């Protein structure tokens, strides 16, 4: 298991099975979620979030065979000023308001999550076949289809997208023109 601290929050994560103290984490957590998957042959991964070293606010377990592939790892981004946690693994994306605490939405990553990024007040999700953006309060702004190899970069308020050598740009907050 590894732990990291962001502001007042401690995030603990284990990607190959449940920790020995799983039952204790689960009994004291405000939210316990077991994300269902048909991939029962894989070991579950575990995530917990604590505030100020108190009881866990959230405990999540999930099984996903996509996480066993080299490019699909569980990913987290925490926005300390809004107390919003973005979490994803495989195709499952979740967002939580840690103030209450409560889940604010569930979404999917097309074919599998690559990771999260933050640029100013925008959170970017990259997946195998999708790029999407949310504001730092968890409101989805836009999504667009992509195909590997693809990448992106930022310049001012513009997102530059390179999909299979075809380069486009659009306003980061507005998304691509449909």
Instruction: Give, in degrees to the nearest 5, the angle at Cα 35 between 30 and 41.
Output: 135
pLDDT one-digit tens code per residue, 134-171: 999 999 999 999 999 999 999 999 999 999 999 999 99
Distances from the Cα of 104 to the Cαs of 13, 86, 164, in angstroms? 21, 10, 34
Provide the mean pLDDT of the chain: 92
Distances from the Cα of 85 to the Cαs of 10, 48, 157, 169, in angstroms? 12, 11, 23, 28
Domain residue limits at 67: 2-148
65, β-bridge pairs: none
Give strand ranges (E) for 52-149. 56-62, 75-79, 84-89, 92-97, 102-108, 113-119, 122-127, 130-135, 140-145
Q: Tell me whether residue 29 is in a domain.
A: yes
Q: Tell me whether residue 61 is in a domain.
A: yes
Q: Tell me whether residue 167 is in a domain.
A: no
Q: Tell me whether residue 159 is in a domain.
A: no
Q: Which residues contact 87 (CB under 8 A, 6 or more apart)?
A: 47, 60, 74, 75, 76, 93, 94, 95, 96
Which structure tokens are listed for 103? 């889940």
pLDDT one-digit tens code per residue, 90-141: 888 999 999 999 999 999 999 889 999 999 999 999 999 999 999 999 999 9
Taking the model in full, what pTM does it have? 0.92
Q: What is the pLDDT of residue 87?
A: 94
Burial category of 66 from C-beta neighbours within 10 Å (exposed 0-12, middle 13-18, buried 19 and up): buried
Q: Tell me whether residue 112 is in a domain.
A: yes
Q: Please give the DSSP secondary-structure letter assigned to residue 137.
A: T
Whether pLDDT at 65 is above 90: no
Q: Tell me whether residue 173 is in a domain.
A: no
Whether pLDDT at 67 is above 80: no
Q: Tell me whether residue 76 is in a domain.
A: yes
Q: Tell me whether residue 154 is in a domain.
A: no
Q: How many domains does the chain have?
A: 1
Percent over 70 (pLDDT), the chain: 92
Q: Which residues contact 118 (CB under 8 A, 6 or more apart)?
A: 77, 79, 124, 136
């Amino acid at each position: 298991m590894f732990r990291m601290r962001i502001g007042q929050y401690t995030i603990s994560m284990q990607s190959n099975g449940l920790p020995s103290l799983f039952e204790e984490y689960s009994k004291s957590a405000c939210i316990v979620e077991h994300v269902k998957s048909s991939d029962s042959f894989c070991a579950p991964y575990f995530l917990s979030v604590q505030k100020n070293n108190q009881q866990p606010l959230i405990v999540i377990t999930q099984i996903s065979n996509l996480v066993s592939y080299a490019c699909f790892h569980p990913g987290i981004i925490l926005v300390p000023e809004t107390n919003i946690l973005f979490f994803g693994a495989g195709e499952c994306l979740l967002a939580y308001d840690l103030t209450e605490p409560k889940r604010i939405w569930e979404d999917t990553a097309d074919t599998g999550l690559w990771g999260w990024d933050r640029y100013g007040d925008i959170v970017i999700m990259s997946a195998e076949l999708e790029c999407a953006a949310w504001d730092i309060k968890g409101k989805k702004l836009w999504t667009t289809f992509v195909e590997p190899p693809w990448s992106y970069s930022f310049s001012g308020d513009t997102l530059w997208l390179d999909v299979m050598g075809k380069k486009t740009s659009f306003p980061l907050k507005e998304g691509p023109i449909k």
